[in-house]
């Protein structure tokens, strides 16, 4: 096997010079699909964090009738998840959505949103790669969406 190095450093002196060179600019330019994916991640992740912060303040303030009050949590947070579910009768899977009017479950909205940000970005990538007819990446992106959606759907259940 050849041991020829593949990391090249172009002798381009300054960034401004790079900007003037169309061929070089093409090299360092971010692809449109990568740019779009990054923008989706940026906007959606901050939206998720803001929602998470607001709902948490509501919960800590004791508003919206939490099923387990924050002040009672020390009784439960030392239990294993299986014991916690048995003692508090907490819903598992997506059943928490039916309790979203209680502030402890309202908290999960922001967290769940953070969990779908990557999927939203991948949907945009899927469309972009499909347009470019980049088949290997269309397939990989589609399978990744399926993997995350399956994990999110709750079909993988631990007894």
User: Which residues 52-81 are close enough to bind another protein by CB under 8 A?
Assistant: 52-53, 55-56, 59-60, 70-74, 77-81
Q: What is the residue whose two structure tokens read 């759907």?
A: 153
Minimum Å distance from CB 71 to another protein?
5
Count the residues of the shown chain that bind another protein, applying the rule CB under 8 A.
85
Q: From CA 80, how far away is CA 71, in angstroms rounded?
A: 19
Segment 33-52, which members bind another protein (CB under 8 A)?
33-35, 37-39, 41-42, 44-46, 48-49, 52
Q: What is the distance between the terminal CA atoms of the chain, rounded to a whole angstrom?
A: 50
Check if the beta carbon of residue 44 is closer than 8 Å to that of residue 122: no
Tell me: does residue 3 bind another protein (CB under 8 A).
yes
Using the rule CB under 8 A, which residue among 90, 120, 123, 127 binds another protein?
90
Say if residue 2 is exposed, middle or buried (CB neighbours under 10 Å; 0-12, 13-18, 19+): exposed
Check if the beta carbon of residue 61 is closer than 8 Å to that of residue 107: no
Using the rule CB under 8 A, which residue among 20, 65, 124, 148 binds another protein?
148
Segment 103-142, which members bind another protein (CB under 8 A)?
104, 107-108, 110-112, 114-115, 117-119, 122, 125, 136-137, 140-141
């Amino acid at each position: 096997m050849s041991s020829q190095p593949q990391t090249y450093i172009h002798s381009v002196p300054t960034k401004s010079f790079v900007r003037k060179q169309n061929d070089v600019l093409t090299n360092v330019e971010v692809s449109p699909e990568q740019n779009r994916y990054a923008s989706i991640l940026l906007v959606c992740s901050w939206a998720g964090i803001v929602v998470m912060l607001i709902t948490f303040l509501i919960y800590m303030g004791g508003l919206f009738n939490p099923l387990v009050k924050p002040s009672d949590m020390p009784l439960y947070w030392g239990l294993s998840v299986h014991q916690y579910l048995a003692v508090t009768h907490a819903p598992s899977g997506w059943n928490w959505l039916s309790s979203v009017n209680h502030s402890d479950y309202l908290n999960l909205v922001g967290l769940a949103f953070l969990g779908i940000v990557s999927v939203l970005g991948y949907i945009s990538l899927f469309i972009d790669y499909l347009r470019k007819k980049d088949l290997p990446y269309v397939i990989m992106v589609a399978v990744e969406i399926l993997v995350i959606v399956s994990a999110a759907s709750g079909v993988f259940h631990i007894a």
